Structure 1
């Protein structure tokens, strides 16, 4: 049974299917026609997905259809909550309409996310400000104890973090100063007796935050290290500050951390070099291998950085890794060498490059 009707029906099953199909396909004219004939159709949902007509419209970015449904009395809190989706997608005007119609700005979904958590995940500042101005709890925590600020930091959304702090989000001054590269504030905080390796809810220290910003904060990182910050501390995901700097493609920050003693071959299987190779960060890859990164380290899938460079179709990184001793004959868990991976991916230029270094006797028939 596809449909679930919480209210008395005044329409046929065929009409209900026509309504849902129109909402799903984005046919505004048919939705309007259906609602004019039977306003209660605004309340139906698809039982196969658990989504209401309004939730489908919002998720499919059909704000015009969502407006019609809200005006027709669509429920605002069935299952996934339309306000969460509107906030996640940055539909500020629609979110305002949902709030005006009675949507709860502090409603919780199955992960205990509020709409403000959803806005943080989507990175939509305007939607977040709207929620805060309408009473959203800026320090609400999800099932993992994370606030919207924690999620914004985790996703390296510096401007979103700044906005939340300006609106009163609880935060560690030293973490925020590090992320925002506010050197004056950082110096003031460091002048007090403070734990420079203090962790936030995600296990990150201020040095992690300095490395996590989209633009990086080499000056903040250097100041923290000078005051005793641990360059090899790991967060809840086993990531070090060096890992963060690599992920954000900050060569200057990577260079600084290496100079300050960051371990280039951490204990976890997916190394900074794997990540740099996967994303084609040639400059960082060179910095890492020059400082002793193992070009033959394998992750849980058996992939070496050379495999990752092939996946990224980066012949320059492939050549670099080969020059620094990468073994082209190492097989992953599926039994593929980098050469065979290149052939499967259709990367003929890389395959030719690898062919000169590959033991042809090691190829599968």
Structure 2
């Protein structure tokens, strides 16, 4: 080969696969030939073969780090080259879960905060948040990757890790002071996102290992509990709700969203029986109405079975609701039309709609008290009256 070069052979000539002699030498691990070619003054180090690989990419691909380092001596920016999709070698190594290449690239001090040149503008840590290798995330952090950089849609690496259900990455980011209260473009913080995605283990991690604001509201006025009751399915929603109440016994479960919907009303409208039962047992107000005047008594499901079940398990007199109209017949209250409350469900009613009297033994009320017709029928039938 040296003789050919001495007689004017082209060191950059391409074969049928568009590979240069250096590509071939690297792939065949011919160290002496690699050394000779890299010493040639006209060697071309930017050329790509038909697979899009430069000589540096070829060296990295077969773990020939010695050749990769020699190429960097001649062409210091070789490790920062990008492909047609705007990704550099660090981006690609992370996407392949290639820890060895990531560690090598970190060791040669590539930019650990370089962004993919595409519409998403992801950083290496955004990509690592979707990786299956926790050590990639941790090593990027140790190398100085900025944890609170945002991509083009205002998501942090922590948000991406939560959406992907990547608990190890979430733990690594939280342990290194990632901003769990930072919000995305919709105003959702880390807990909003974890709840919406039904990520029970990540919700637990956030509630036990961080001080995330569990009462924060997004741009639609919804806190994480609202999102839980709007979106998440039965079993997972019930588990997450129990976890909320276990970690935060005083969580404000009756706070309405911008539409006036409480968590109980949201879950009732979706027919989420397990979730409704947990909220009622935790003391949720039964009579709260949204801005359209809807409450759990006038929102019609296929049957009244769920409503009767909730009244059955009611452990104590519900918080009294407030309204300018009777919550049964919608008569407006005046000086002469007084307000009354059902001593069982807490709804505000006119005298006619609360004219039934009955003891509520499960509350320890042995004398007849004013109740609405719905509660009267439930209590009179004996359902729950002796619980």
Q: TM-score, normalised by structure 2?
A: 0.48
**8 Å Cα contact 1:179-1:206 kept in structure 2:** no
Which residue of 2 is the match for residue 36 of structure 1? none
| Structure 1 residues not aligned, in runs of 5+ | 1-137, 139-166
User: Which of 317, 321, 325 matches 2:244?
Assistant: 321
- For residues 135 and 258 of structure 2, the distance between their equivalents in structure 1, rounded to whole angstroms, comes to 42
Which residue of 2 is the match for residue 312 of structure 1? 232
- For residues 92 and 283 of structure 2, the distance between their equivalents in structure 1, rounded to whole angstroms, comes to 49
User: Which of 328, 334, 344 matches 2:269?
Assistant: 344
Which residue of 1 is the match for residue 40 of structure 2? none
- Once the two structures are TM-superposed, the CA of residue 203 in structure 1 deviates from its matched residue by 2.2
Which residue of 1 is the match for residue 76 of structure 2? none
RMSD after superposition = 2.4
Over residues 187-242 of structure 1, what are the superposed CA-to-partner deviations in whole Å (9 max), with x where a residue is unaligned?
Answer: 221122322111123221101101124xx331111111111111111111111111
**8 Å Cα contact 1:243-1:272 kept in structure 2:** yes
Aligned pairs, number: 200
Which residue of 1 is the match for residue 138 of structure 2? 222
**8 Å Cα contact 1:178-1:221 kept in structure 2:** no
1:360 is paired with a residue whose SS is coil
**8 Å Cα contact 1:309-1:315 kept in structure 2:** no
User: Which of 70, 87, 93 matches 1:171?
Assistant: 87
Which residue of 2 is the match for residue 333 of structure 1? 258
- For residues 286 and 265 of structure 2, the distance between their equivalents in structure 1, rounded to whole angstroms, comes to 13
- For residues 109 and 203 of structure 2, the distance between their equivalents in structure 1, rounded to whole angstroms, comes to 38
- Once the two structures are TM-superposed, the CA of residue 357 in structure 1 deviates from its matched residue by 2.8
- Once the two structures are TM-superposed, the CA of residue 361 in structure 1 deviates from its matched residue by 7.5
Structure whose residues are more often helix by fraction: 1
1:187 is paired with a residue whose SS is helix
- Once the two structures are TM-superposed, the CA of residue 263 in structure 1 deviates from its matched residue by 1.4
| Structure 2 residues not aligned, in runs of 5+ | 1-51, 53-82, 290-326, 328-387
**8 Å Cα contact 2:183-2:190 kept in structure 1:** no
Asked which structure has the greater CA Rg, the reply is 2
Q: TM-score, normalised by structure 1?
A: 0.51
- For residues 85 and 207 of structure 2, the distance between their equivalents in structure 1, rounded to whole angstroms, comes to 41
- For residues 194 and 85 of structure 2, the distance between their equivalents in structure 1, rounded to whole angstroms, comes to 33
1:288 is paired with a residue whose SS is helix
Over residues 150-204 of structure 1, what are the superposed CA-to-partner deviations in whole Å (9 max), with x where a residue is unaligned?
Answer: xxxxxxxxxxxxxxxxx97652111111222211111221122322111123221
